[in-house]
Structure 1
Amino acid sequence: MELDEIYELHVNDLYRYLYSLSKDHFTAEDLVQETFYRAFITLDEREITNIKAWLFKVSYHAFIDFTRKRKRYIVSDQLENIEPKGIPPEKSPEKQFIEKESFQQLLEDIHSLNDKQKNVLLLCDFHKLSYKEAADILDLNLNTLKSHLLRGREKMIAKIQKRRERDERER
Structure 2
Amino acid sequence: MKNDLISKIFMDKMNIIHCYLIKLGCNQEDAEDITQDTFYKALKYIDGIDVSQISSWLFRVAINRYYDLCRTKKRHVQVIINEEIFKSDNNLCEDYIIDLERKGDVLKILNSLNNIQKNLLILKYNMDLSYKEISNILDINESTVKTYLFRARAQFKNKWGVMYNE
Short-chain TM bin: 0.5 to 0.7
- Aligned partner of 1:96 in structure 2 is 96
Instruction: Establish whether residue 69 from structure 1 lines up as the match of residue 69 from structure 2.
Output: yes
Query: Identity across aligned pairs (percent)?
Result: 23
Does residue 21 of the first structure (1) align with residue 24 of the second (2)? yes
Unaligned runs of 5+ in 1: 167-171
Q: Quote the Cα distance in structure 1 between the aligned partners of 2:116 and 2:78.
A: 22
Matched with 2:115 is 115
TM-score, structure 2 length as denominator? 0.63
Following TM superposition, by how much is the alpha carbon of 1:13 offset from its aligned partner in structure 2, in angstroms?
A: 8.9
Aligned-partner residue type, residue 62 of structure 1: A
8 Å CA contact retained: 1:135, 1:142 = yes
Partner SS, residue 148 of structure 1:
helix
The two structures have a TM-score, normalised by structure 1, of 0.62
- Aligned amino acid, residue 107 of structure 1: L
Deviations 1:83-105 (A, max 9, x none): 83585897244433322221122
Residue 127 of structure 2 is matched in structure 1 by 127
Q: Which runs of 5+ in 2 are unaligned?
A: none
2:36 corresponds to = 37
Tell me how far apart the structure 1 counterparts of residues 80 and 117 of structure 2 sit (CA, whole Å): 25
Distance in 2 (CA, whole Å) between partners of 1:124 and 1:80 is 14
Shift of 1:141: 1.8
Q: Which moved more, 1:107-116 or 1:77-86?
A: 77-86
Q: 1:20 to 1:104 in 2, by over 3 A?
A: farther
The answer as to whether partners of 1:31 and 1:62 remain within 8 angstroms in 2 is no
Is the CA contact (8 Å cut-off) linking 1:11 and 1:32 kept in structure 2?
A: no
Indicate how the Cα distance of structure 1 residues 62 and 39 shifts in structure 2: closer, same or farther if over 3 A, else same.
Answer: closer
CA contact 1:135–1:141 (8 Å) conserved in 2: yes
Once the 2 structures are TM-superposed, how far is the Cα of residue 140 of structure 1 from its aligned partner? 1.4
Q: Secondary structure at the match of 1:133?
A: helix
Q: 1:63/1:94 Cα in 2 relative to 1: closer, same or farther (>3 Å)?
A: farther
Task: State the alpha-carbon separation in 1 of the partners of residues 74 and 115 from structure 2.
Answer: 20
